Structure 1
Amino acid sequence: MSDVITATAHLTAVADQLVSGSIEVVDLTAPLHGGTPILELPEPMGQTARFQLEEISRYDDRGPAWYWNNFRTGEHTGTHFDAPNHWITGKDLDDVSQVPAQRLVGAAVVIDRTAEVSADPDYLLDVADLRVWQEENGPLPERSWLLYRTGWSRHAEDPAAFANLGENSPRTPGLTPAAARYLAEETGILGMGVETVGTDAGAAMGFEPPFPCHSFLLGAGKYGLTQLCHLDKLPVTGAVLIAAPLPIVNGSGSPCRVLALVPTDGN
């Protein structure tokens, strides 16, 4: 009973701090619209649909007092959640509706490589980077979200710059296969969040294995969050992240709202 009383007191304190402003809610979600960048695969592979709104009524004879729309898009459009069954290595694991709600919330930790990516858009985070981070900040917390800050979200409203197509593949940052395997097999993180169109580097089709973040992390029952923004507003440690995908039955993912609770000085 004492544990329940203590937990209740903690939650009440959080609610009070949200009201007072000593905890800020930072929206890490990119606005979703028809110009939102999407992943474009080489032909003849199947392609995802761009986001589209279809008006049903707008305070008119189709509906005099209400405005609403149908929408059409892919599961993996804009800021979105990758469920384990999105990849062949996780095909027998959870779809997005089966992911336990408890696993959508966790501590957020940020690894910042904006300077390196600014100098080299093909920059790959490696195991050495992850070990240095842990030497400086402590072990990656259990059931946390690792957020990879690259500054790429500055291109979010420019699809050409966001894709950054090179001669043979997109030139966007990601992880080495060794780093992806390390996160999947040697840490207890919930998953990884990135600012780019997918968790893998633009050149990852040519890696071994291809698309190692998808292959290793989703195969290990972990998750991906993509096209995040405002990671510069988060501390290296000390924030809490909430990911809220739609519980689409048999879905491999979903556009989602991603929020971070960040301590402030209240001013």
Structure 2
Amino acid sequence: MPVLQNLLDALRTRTVEVIDLTAPLHSGTPVLQLPPQFANASPFGVTEISRYDDRGPAWYWNNIQTSEHTGTHFDAPVHWVTAKDGEDIAQVPAARLVAPAAVLDFSAECEKNPDFLLEIDHVRAWESEHGPLPEGGWLLYRTGWDSRSEDAAAFLNADETGSHTPGISVECAKWLAEEAPVMGLGAETVGTDAGAAHSFDPPFPCHSYMLGAGKYGLTQLQNLAQLPPTGAVVIAGPLPIVGGSGSPARVLALVEP
């Protein structure tokens, strides 16, 4: 097919580049910390099975332990109670794993205020400059938070009042779920919601509204600074865990330099 051959040629000649949006996955990868009355996810772990030894002389392999929502990961609708009868991660159509992206950069605002919230007016202003959000695509929210990803304390940014990380306002989350043409939201933080979102009404509005509307989430993304405001294509590859609420994912972007 000429279109696919053209893509292969563009990749070979680097007129299209592949940007990795995925955080390395290791035992120090930050994991969401819920209050002690709730069950928490396990950190990522590796247990060696064999490594060219008497347990297996010619091969090296490991068992891994992780939650569905550790590291860079994909939230399926069924992750939240508002979509308890919705798609699990194995039911997400493969065609939806390749989609256009809009990148909204509010890293300067988040540097000044870690509790910064994206509002509808911010999105409208972005659209007035760059055009409408992509139909069936991703809104990728750049906050600069990926610079903290190797320091769990800085990444979660918690004090005696709770976590302080940027997110989306209640009104904006509802608008993105019910009116915006995007199919999902991507963020650099540990989840798609702000650190203070447990105190919002409803709590965790991105999860509540977006997943409740059958839309998706991508979290703990990196390298959004390397993407243009429009024109990138995102390839998100979660594991098809039957009945799963989400999955760690390798997330790539195709861009024209």
Fold in common (TM above 0.5)? yes
**Matches of 1:135 and 1:222 in 2, distance apart?**
24
* SS of aligned partner of 2:162: coil
Offset of residue 167 of structure 1: 2.4
Aligned to 2:161: 168
Offset of residue 43 of structure 1: 1.1
Aligned to 2:130: 137
Aligned to 1:3: none
Opposite residue 165 of structure 2, the aligned amino acid is: T
**Matches of 1:15 and 1:214 in 2, distance apart?**
37
Aligned to 2:29: 36
- How does 1:83-232 map onto structure 2 within 5 Å? 83-232=76-225
Q: Residue 78 in 1 paired to residue 66 in 2?
A: no
Opposite residue 87 of structure 1, the aligned amino acid is: W
Deviation readout 1:126-172 (Å, 9 max, x if unpaired): 00001111111111111111100000000000000001003221000
Offset of residue 187 of structure 1: 1.4
Q: Residue 246 in 1 paired to residue 239 in 2?
A: yes
Opposite residue 58 of structure 1, the aligned amino acid is: R
Aligned to 2:6: 13
**Matches of 2:39 and 2:68 in 1, distance apart?**
13
Aligned to 1:62: 55
**Matches of 1:81 and 1:96 in 2, distance apart?**
8
**Matches of 1:84 and 1:168 in 2, distance apart?**
29
Q: TM-score, normalised by structure 1?
A: 0.95
Q: Give % identity.
A: 60
Q: Which sections of structure 2, spanning at least 5 residues, go unmatched?
A: none
Opposite residue 96 of structure 1, the aligned amino acid is: I
* SS of aligned partner of 2:124: helix
Q: Which sections of structure 1, spanning at least 5 residues, go unmatched?
A: 1-7
Offset of residue 108 of structure 1: 1.1
Aligned to 1:261: 254
Q: RMSD in angstroms over aligned alpha carbons?
A: 0.6
Opposite residue 161 of structure 1, the aligned amino acid is: A
Q: TM-score, normalised by structure 2?
A: 0.99
**Matches of 1:237 and 1:12 in 2, distance apart?**
23
* SS of aligned partner of 2:36: coil
* SS of aligned partner of 1:93: coil
Q: How many residues are aligned here?
A: 257
Opposite residue 41 of structure 1, the aligned amino acid is: L
Offset of residue 196 of structure 1: 0.2
**Matches of 1:221 and 1:11 in 2, distance apart?**
30
* SS of aligned partner of 1:109: strand
